[in-house]
Amino acid sequence: MTNTQTHKDILGHPQGLFYLFFAELWERFSFYGMRALLTLYMVNKIFEALSTRDVAAAAVYASYGSLVYASTVIGGKISDTILGLRRSIFLGGILMSLGHFVLAIDSSMAFFLALGLIVVGNGFFKPNISTFVGSLYKDGDVRKDSGFTIFYMGINIGGWVAPLLCGWLAATYGWHYGFGLAGFGMLLGLAFFWNGIKRQVFGQAGLPPSQAVIDKPLLGVPQGILIPILAFVCAPLVALMLASYEPIANGSTIFGDQNLVNVIFKAIGVVILIYLAKVLYDATLEERKKLFVAILISFFMTIFWGFHELSGSVITLFAARNVDLSFMDAAQTNSLNSMFIIILAIPISLMWAYLAKTKRNPRTPYKFGLGLVFAGLSFYVLSISGLQANEEGLVPFSYLLVMYFLLSIGELFMSPVGLSKITDLSPKRIVAFMMGIWFLSSAYAFQVVGFISKELAVDSDNANVGGLETLSIYTEGFELIAMYSLGAGVFVLLSSPFIKKLMGKVH
C-alpha cells in the first residue's frame, strides 16, 4: 500500500489517521450505543410477553454478535479483491446507519431487518477501516503501533460516550430516540470519512485493486454496482436467520432451544477445525510450531471475549435487576469498560515499554494467561457482591465498577497484543486467512455468550423481575465463570514455557 505524505503530519502521524480516528469513533458510537439498549429492548419490548424472554433475547444477542464478527471475514475479502477499502467503508457505513434508523421504527419485523443491515454493514466497515489505518504507514514504520493505540482510543471514546447518551435518550424520550441517535452517529462518521477523501488526506490508499475489476460485469452488472445491491439483498436474509428464534410454543423452535444461526455456526466450526488441521499438516515444522501458537492465541481470545461480551447481555440485566444504581441506569453501565480502557491504555503501554527497556516485558503467552486471570478476578468480584446486597437484593454499584476495572486490564493485556502477534506468527501466504480466524474468534465468543446467557436466564411471568428473586442466579453463575476463567488463565500461565519455545524469536 502507498504511504500518504501529501499532507503534513499531525502529532507525528499521517493526517489521514485523524480522519479515520473520528470516522471509527462515530461508527463505534453507533455500535455501542445500540448494543447498550439491545438486550434491555428485547427483554422489555420484543419478547416482553414471553416468560422465556431472557432465553429468546440471549439467542438473538448471541447470533447477532456472531454474525457481526463473522461478516467481517467476507467484507475484508471483498474489499481486498474487488471494492477496495474506501468503497467498502462507505457501503458498510450506509448499511449501518440505515440499520440504526430502521431500529427507530416500532415493530418486531423492523427490529430484525435492522439487525440484518447492521450485520452486513459492519462486515464491510469494521475490518476495512482497521486495514486502512495500517495502510497509512510503510512496512516497518515504527509509528504504526502507536497509530493503532490512538485508533483504539477512538473506538473507546465512542464506546464510552454512546451508552451514556443513547441510554439517557432511551430512558427520557423512549427507546427509538436512543437508536436514532446511534444512526446519526454513524452518519457523522461517514461525513468525517468523506471529508478526508475530499481533502485527499489518504493519498492513494484505499482505492480499488483495479478499475477493470470494478467494471467487470457479473450477471450482466458491473461488480462495483452488483456488490452493493447484493449487500442490501443479504440484509433481509440475515434478518430471517436471526428471527428464526421466533418461538413457536413457549420458547421452543424447530431447532429446539437454538436458532438457525447457532446450528450453522456449529457446522462451520467443525469444517474450520478440519481445515486448520490440514493447514498445520501442510506447513513446514517451523511454520507449524508458530501456527499452532497463533491458533492457541485465537482460542484463548475466544474464551476471553466469551466472558467479556456478556457485558451487553447478562451483566446489563444484572445491573438492571440487582445493582443499586444511583449514578447511571443499566444501559449506561455499558460505558464503564470503554471508560477504563481510555484511562488505562496509556499507563499499560508505558508499563510494557518500561519493562521492555529492562528486558522484563513478559512474552505473549504470559500476558494472555494474566488477561484470563484478570477476567476471572473481575467475575469473582461480582460473585461476592451478593454478600453486600440490601434487603431488596440490590448490590452496591462499586462492585460493578471494580469488575469493569479488572476486566479492562485483562482486555489491554490481550486484545492489542494478540492482533499483532497473529501477523508475526503466520506465514505470509496465509496471513489473511489467519486474520479471518482471529475475527472468527470474536464470532465464536458470542456462541459462548449465548450458552452462558441461556444458563443464567430468568424464567418469569413478570417482565420486571429482579431483586432477591434473581440475585443468586447471577452470583452463582458469576462464580462459575470466575472459576473457569481463573482455571484457563492458570493453565495458560503454566503452559507458557512450552508455548514460548514454540514461538521461536517472536516475542
Residues interacting with ligand GLN, by CB under 6 A? 28, 155, 305, 415, 442
Alpha carbon distance 111, 107 (integer Å)? 6
Rounded to a whole number of angstroms, the minimum distance from the CB of residue 305 to ligand GLN is 5
Shortest distance, position 256 Cβ to ligand GLN, whole Å: 27
Roughly what angle, to the nearest 10 degrees, separates helices 144-173 and 175-198? 150
Q: Give the rounded distance of the alpha carbon of 446 from its chain centre.
A: 9
Q: How far is the CB of 442 from ligand GLN (least distance, A)?
A: 4
The residue (of 146 and 460) whose beta carbon lies closer to ligand GLN is: 146
Nearer to ligand GLN by Cβ, of 414 and 456: the residue is 414
Sign of the CA dihedral 115, 121, 125, 126? Answer: positive
| Cβ atoms of residues 19 and 193 within 8 Å | yes
The three-state DSSP-derived secondary structure of 368-430 is HHHHHHHHHHHHHHHHCHHHHCCCCCCEEHHHHHHHHHHHHHHHHHHHHHHHHHHHHHCCHHH
Q: Contact, 20 vs 193, CB < 8 A?
A: yes
Closest distance of CB 43 from ligand GLN, Å: 22
Q: Hunting for cell 485527499 — which residue is that?
A: 200
Minimum Å distance from CB 401 to ligand GLN? 19
Q: Which is nearer to ligand GLN, 93 or 251 (CB)?
A: 93
**Nearer of residues 28 and 53 to ligand GLN, judged by Cβ:** 28
For residue 172, the tally of other CB atoms under 10 A from its CB is 9
Which of 113/310 has CB closer to ligand GLN?
A: 310
The smaller minimum CB distance to ligand GLN, of residues 4 and 128, is found at: 128
Q: Which residue is nearest to ligand GLN (CB)?
A: 442
State the minimum distance, in angstroms, from the CB of residue 86 to ligand GLN.
20
Of the two residues 305 and 444, which places its CB atom closer to ligand GLN in the complex? 305
Q: Closest separation between CB of residue 310 and ligand GLN, Å?
A: 12
Other residues' Cβ atoms within 10 Å of the Cβ of residue 390: 11
Query: What residue has cell string 473507546?
Result: 156
Neighbours of 328 (CB within 10 A): 19
DSSP 3-state assignment of 10?
A: strand
The region that residue 193 occupies, defined by phi over 0 for left and psi between -120 and 50 for alpha, beta otherwise, is alpha
Nearest residue (CB) to ligand GLN, 137 versus 307 = 307
Angle in degrees, CA 322, 466, 375, rounded to 5: 40
Q: CA-CA distance, 353 to 348, in Å (whole number)?
A: 9
**Distance of closest approach, residue 341 Cβ to ligand GLN, in angstroms:** 8
